[in-house]
Chains A and B, each alone.
Chain A
Amino acid sequence: MTATVPPGPRTLPPLGPNRRLKLPQQAERTLGNGLTVIAVRRPAVPLVELRLWVPFGRVHLARGAMLSQTLLSGTPTMTSVQIAAELQKVGGGLAAGLDPDRLMLTGTSLVTGLDRMLEILAEVLTGATYPKEEVATERDRLVDRIQVAQSQPAHLARVALLKRIFGRHPYAVQTPETDEVRAVRPGVLRRLHTERVHPADSVLVLVGDVQPERALDATEKALGGWAGAGRTVDLPPAPPLEPGPLLLVDRPGSVQSSLRVAMPAVPRTHSDHAALQLANLIFGGYFSSRWVENIREDKGYTYGPHSLIEHAVAGSVLVAAAEVATEVTGPALLETTYELGRLASLPPKEDELEQARQYALGTLQLGMSTQAGLAALVSAYAGNGLRLDFLAEHAARLAKATVADVAEAAARYLAPAKAVTVVLGDAERIAPSLAALTAVETA
């Protein structure tokens, strides 16, 4: 064997020069009906990814959820089984999902099947029939799924947190009541479709082994006839966080507590965003963060703590989440408050910032390196009025942020005094230790 390293202490090899961020070839067109189409070339595998973002703010929750469950259930010429089978023939599939901002249609197919997938998409968008039988079936299934969700601690903690953060804003409740779901009828869905599933303000993203201009032509041919000019609805801005007592939600017998700490955040375009992103990484946004090294690698309180800035159209929020053993719930909150307070009060070390910066920049490259990752990114950006070139701008801001910038962002956004905290767990067992640390109110 040639040229091996001599025995003895070995030193970490340095990194090679940073690779420049290269944006892929893309094209964009707004069709006559108002639909924005963005096509991006990434030919790695012979597939194409499709994302259609239809603004869907302030839609009646149960009706919106049922519409997304049954949008692909039938058209004048096809049953749900035929829609699925026709898509399968080209290696394709479509699925619909909902959040408080948008209805999202997601698809993947062999690239040779793009035209066919677009044709079927057009037929669904212009002619979904919401057949009575299928609506009845999907209604029951949605009720079942909600019941399963309600048995999961992460979901229950999320429900309580959203309510606590957003109060009367439409973001406050994101899961419909089962009774509301049971009341949804096909006629209501057809009306909602006519009113809200329209091309103006919608954005279709195609990413894959395509020639961007040709993909735009194909989309124009298939979806040019999608008409309808229903209402556009704007969401009110999300309210500011209102700190208050820790909200304790009882889940008797729970062997873990779900700890959630929400803090204020800013949208992607805000001048503080890059510094806040770095501050969040240093706090708890990646494995090599203070919080994870403390409560997992030092104390063993938890398995997968993480802290994330969640962006939505009407506002952003930072949420730190951990499932901790019931008996260490108080101590875990103590360490969480300590790490937040430490970063809000004292500047991070230079090398901590460099490590977080490299991670933020590197993961931008990783996120763009698959068709699916790129499609998700382009769609999320476009839904918030941004284009892929914003990525370069954001990278430049990450590269420039100083220790002082990050310290300032941490003081402004990560101060524990500004946090909204929700804990779901066995109240009888955890209330005393939480009450020793902060004011507690019970849900």
Chain B
Amino acid sequence: MAARRSRIPATKYPVERFTLDNGLRVVLTPDRSAPVIGVAVVYDVGIRSEPEGRTGFAHLFEHLMFQGSENLEKLAHFRHVQGAGGTFNGSTHLDYTDYFETLPSNALERALFLEADRMRGPRLTEENLRNQVDVVKEEIRVNVLNRPYGGFPWLTLPPVMFDTFPNAHDGYGSFDDLESATVADAADFFRRYYASGNAVLAVSGDIDVAEATTLIERHFGDVPARPAPQRPDFTEPDLTAERRTSYTDKLAPLPAVAGAWRVPDPITDFIGYLPYVVLAEVLTDGDASRLVERLVQRDRTVTSLGGYLGFMGDPFDVRDPTALLLQAHLPPGGDVDKVLRTIDEELDRLATDGLTEGELARTQARMATHLLRDTDAVLGRALRMAVLEQQRGEPGLLNDLPRLVGEVTEEQVRAAAATIRPERRASIEVIAGGAK
């Protein structure tokens, strides 16, 4: 029997969209299979939009959105969400900032109240600002300064690949910039970017659409209307010559390397972009993938390996310019040049000889599993749909992703592989300063 393809299944989460008079876009996706809801508010502002001299500001501001709002004291937001049996968080990305809760469904109206209240305005005080600058500095110490490979490669590679401040700078921010931030900066940032017209609200899970619509109108309807700001042009030209740097990480016991290559615009050229998403998995997903088999198993030049789209691992929620990334940790004394040469060689082989029997189909089947698994969490659906609405006006794309990934052809993957050339590569090497 010929190699049989696993049929790629799809989800059929229903999608309702509407826009309030103040410009707030809303996405509802009901699913009553469990008594839980996901609530996400996404603002169209991220690391790329922060002003020069204010690195890390988008993230710092995210913290300030939890410090009390029009009708809520400091600490109240946390207490009201958790006291309803829910969990919360927020996160800052290159192109957006999200705020979200997962809750038992009897807390729907409470969650809407909380999000509407801070959309009207956070309480920006000097005391809260100083407190959160301290907290963010500890966050940076935990995640970057006090550990090996901190910020590798998501903070260390963009400045190699990009030339302009929005794309190249450190999104966690320098301590100097963080300490220079003022309440006035925060108020300006809020006024400019946290506009109803610049936001999307998504609610998923155990909701009745009519009831949820009424509640959303009740709580968000009178949030003052402010239009979305004009989004700046962040485009940069592709590299025409290889760029390569290195740095010593005094805590790192093993050498490491990461390379990045520009990919087509994920929004305006989605069909051109998808083959790169598949290519990353063909190269690195599991023991049967190209680069793991070659570099880890056969050559033993690499001890662990990863490949993905987007500096924050965000294939479907980032705009142009973005990249395909490959990163590897090497055994002690490993030869980074050799690893990069082998990667070039494997991509060349893929572009020239194509894929083996069944290689593409099995990779696509596995990708479908990962995509479906992500959407199983009620919050995963709300967050993903909110961003798809914000960046594409197409929240329902979530249901179609497994199928679209499955429709990528061998020819497209080969063509994508042919563009992953050393002369278009930006790479960074970590020299193991902590090697024993």
Tell me if A19 and B146 are in contact (CB < 8 A): no
- A-B CB pair tally, cutoff 8 Å: 259
Contact of A303 among B79, B86, B87, B142 (CB under 8 A): B142
- Bound form: Cα–Cα A183–B202 in Å: 55
- Bound form: Cα–Cα A355–B80 in Å: 8
- Bound form: Cα–Cα A362–B137 in Å: 32
Contact of A300 among B70, B86, B138, B286 (CB under 8 A): B138
Indicate with 1 or 0, residue by residue over B2-38, a CB within 8 angstroms of chain A CB atoms: 0000110101000000001100000000010111100
Tell me which of B108-116, B153-161, B237-245, B310-318 binds A.
Answer: B108-116
- A140 at interface by CB-CB < 8 Å: yes
- A396 at interface by CB-CB < 8 Å: no
Tell me if A368 and B375 are in contact (CB < 8 A): no
CB neighbours of B141 from chain A (8 A): 255-256, 303, 323, 325
Tell me if B85 and A108 are in contact (CB < 8 A): no
Tell me if A80 and B148 are in contact (CB < 8 A): no
Tell me which of B44-52, B216-224, B384-392, B407-415 binds A.
Answer: B216-224
Contacts A4-B217, A89-B362 given; does A45 touch B253 at CB 8 Å: no
Tell me if A91 and B366 are in contact (CB < 8 A): yes
CB neighbours of A153 from chain B (8 A): 146-147
- A85 at interface by CB-CB < 8 Å: yes
CB neighbours of B219 from chain A (8 A): 5
**Nearest CB in chain B: distance from A123 CB, A:** 15
A144 to B, closest residue via Cβ: B303
Tell me which of B177-185, B268-276, B292-300, B346-354 binds A.
Answer: B292-300
- Bound form: Cα–Cα A110–B131 in Å: 47
Tell me if A286 and B82 are in contact (CB < 8 A): yes
Tell me which of A7-15, A163-171, A312-320 binds B.
Answer: A7-15
CB neighbours of A17 from chain B (8 A): 106
Contact of A10 among B20, B71, B145, B366 (CB under 8 A): B71
- A370 at interface by CB-CB < 8 Å: yes
- A141 at interface by CB-CB < 8 Å: yes
Contacts A3-B218, A372-B373 given; does A304 touch B142 at CB 8 Å: yes
- A250 at interface by CB-CB < 8 Å: no
Which residues in window 300-332 of B have CB below 8 A to A?
A: 300, 303-304, 329, 331-332
Q: How many residues from B make CB contacts under 8 Å with A?
A: 92
CB neighbours of A13 from chain B (8 A): 109-110, 113
Tell me if B287 and A256 are in contact (CB < 8 A): no
- B231 at interface by CB-CB < 8 Å: no
**Nearest CB in chain A: distance from B153 CB, A:** 16
- B1 at interface by CB-CB < 8 Å: no
Contacts A7-B222, A151-B252, A363-B87 given; does A84 touch B376 at CB 8 Å: no
CB neighbours of B138 from chain A (8 A): 256, 300-303, 323-325
Indicate with 1 or 0, residue by residue over B72-84, a CB within 8 angstroms of chain A CB atoms: 0011001110111
- Bound form: Cα–Cα A45–B369 in Å: 9
- Bound form: Cα–Cα A137–B358 in Å: 27
**Nearest CB in chain A: distance from B149 CB, A:** 8
- B254 at interface by CB-CB < 8 Å: yes
**Nearest CB in chain B: distance from A113 CB, A:** 6
Tell me if B80 and A45 are in contact (CB < 8 A): no
Tell me if B368 and A45 are in contact (CB < 8 A): no
Contact of A9 among B71, B304, B436 (CB under 8 A): B71
Tell me if B86 and A366 are in contact (CB < 8 A): yes
Tell me if A365 and B34 are in contact (CB < 8 A): yes
Q: Which of B86, B108, B288, B363 gathers most chain A CB within 10 Å? A: B288
Q: Which of A17, A88, A137 gathers most chain B CB within 10 Å? A: A88
- A65 at interface by CB-CB < 8 Å: no
Which residues in window 49-72 of B have CB below 8 A to A?
A: 70-71
Measured CB to CB, the residues of B under 8 A from A are 6-7, 9, 11, 20-21, 31, 33-36, 70-71, 74-75, 78-80, 82-88, 102-110, 113, 117, 130-139, 141-142, 145-148, 206, 214, 217-219, 221-222, 251-254, 285-288, 293, 296-297, 300, 303-304, 329, 331-332, 358, 361-363, 365-366, 368-369, 372-373, 375-378, 434, 436
28 A/B residue pairs, CB under 8 Å, sorted by A = A1-B217, A12-B80, A13-B109, A15-B106, A18-B106, A19-B106, A44-B33, A45-B375, A47-B369, A81-B287, A88-B285, A89-B361, A91-B366, A109-B369, A110-B365, A113-B6, A141-B296, A144-B332, A148-B253, A151-B253, A288-B83, A323-B138, A323-B141, A325-B134, A358-B82, A362-B104, A366-B86, A369-B34
19 additional A-B residue pairs with CB within 8 Å, beyond A91-B368, A151-B147, A286-B82: A1-B21, A1-B217, A1-B222, A4-B217, A5-B222, A10-B70, A16-B109, A19-B35, A44-B33, A108-B369, A110-B372, A141-B303, A288-B75, A288-B83, A299-B134, A301-B138, A359-B82, A359-B85, A365-B85
